Structure formats: structure tokens, C-alpha cells
């Protein structure tokens, strides 16, 4: 029986939840998530979790923040002049998108006053312990799916709403 090894393309059904069982992402109602194992397309703990699994095997894993999106980093909170945004249209806690040479990047508006705004570019799940229910539904040596684009706007053969579009796509 074939099992998942580094370099394989794996297709999985999954549900990701927080410690309080709030679901933040799932493949339910969509095609399975496909990614190449060991290529940095997924958070480290998810990538490691599928190694050695067989087709139709299921498991639940709990990932610490360091195995997922890491701890929040203070240097990812940036200050900008308030003139960069339309001050009347934005509210505290609002998600904002910024264009960069590497594509769009999401930030959360943390502070705004008459002169400046502070935007937090940490991943929304940074610092969180995450639980995943994973079922391997396919293992192959080449991609079996082609996605036109990820939710973050990048083009990739493997992307899900929970992937870190800054490093997991492209």
C-alpha cells in the first residue's frame, strides 16, 4: 500500500479548527486540497502530518503556533501615513490589502489617528493552536488538479484559504 512521502503530490480532505472547535477552514463542498509534500506550500505541521499516511487514512492533529503560522511578530506591525487610506471608509479591525512586488498582502488596521495608521501584517492565525482532521484521498507523482488562482490572487497548483499567501502560493 502506497504511503505519502516527501515529493509526492497528495490530495486531502480536511477541516481546520481552533482550540474551541470553531472551524476556520474546510475542504467540505470543494475538491480536495492538493499540494506537493515537503515543498513549503503548507504550514510545517500540516506538511509533516501527512507523511506516512495511506489513501483513505484519517487522523486528527493538533499543531502548536510554531508548527503552524508562528508567533505574532512585532516587526510585522507597520506604521504608515494616514493619507494612504480613505479615512472615512475604514474602521478599526478592518482587513486592508496592499500591493507589493510579490503580489497582494493582507493587513489588519490596528490604529488610526489624524497622522498615522498602524497595520498588523501577521497572519490572522499567528499565535493560535490549530486542530486539523485530515483524510488522504489521493497520492500521485504529479499534480492532478489545476487551480486558476488562489483566494489571495496568486496563481498556484496548490492553495487553500488557510495557506499563507505570502509563502504558500506562487
Is residue 90 within 8 Å of residue 57, measured between CB atoms? no
**pLDDT of 114 over the 50 cut:** yes
Least confident of 32-41, 88-97, 120-129, 158-167: 158-167
Find the radius of gyration of the CA atoms of the chain.
18
The answer to whether domain 1-70+127-170 has CATH 3.40.50.300 is no
Cα distances (Å, whole numbers) of residue 69 to 28, 47, 77, 137: 22, 13, 16, 25
> Which CATH class, in words, describes the domain spanning 74-120?
mainly beta
Element at 48 (helix H, strand E): helix 44-50
pLDDT digits (tens, 9 = 90+) for 28-75: 999 999 999 999 999 999 999 999 999 999 999 999 999 999 999 999
Q: What is the mean pLDDT of residues 6-11?
A: 97
Q: What is the mean pLDDT of residues 139-150?
A: 76
Task: Say what the pLDDT of residue 158 is.
Answer: 42
Q: For the chain, what are the domain ranges?
A: 1-70+127-170, 74-120
Amino acid at each position: 500500500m502506497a504511503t505519502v512521502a516527501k515529493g509526492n503530490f497528495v490530495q486531502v480532505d480536511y477541516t481546520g479548527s481552533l482550540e474551541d472547535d470553531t472551524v476556520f477552514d474546510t475542504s467540505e463542498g470543494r475538491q480536495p486540497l492538493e499540494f506537493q509534500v515537503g515543498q513549503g506550500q503548507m504550514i510545517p505541521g500540516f506538511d509533516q502530518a501527512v507523511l506516512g499516511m495511506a489513501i483513505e487514512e484519517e487522523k486528527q492533529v493538533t499543531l502548536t503556533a510554531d508548527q503552524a503560522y508562528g508567533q505574532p511578530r512585532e516587526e510585522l506591525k507597520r506604521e504608515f501615513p494616514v493619507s494612504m487610506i480613505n479615512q472615512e471608509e475604514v474602521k478599526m479591525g478592518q482587513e486592508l490589502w496592499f500591493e507589493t512586488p510579490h503580489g497582494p498582502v493582507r493587513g489588519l488596521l490596528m490604529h488610526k489617528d489624524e497622522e498615522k495608521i498602524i497595520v498588523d501584517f501577521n497572519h490572522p492565525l499567528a499565535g493560535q493552536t490549530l486542530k486539523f482532521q485530515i483524510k488522504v484521498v489521493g497520492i500521485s507523482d504529479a499534480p492532478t488538479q489545476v487551480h486558476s488562482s488562489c483566494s489571495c490572487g496568486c496563481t498556484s497548483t496548490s492553495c487553500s484559504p488557510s495557506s499563507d499567501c505570502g509563502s504558500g502560493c506562487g
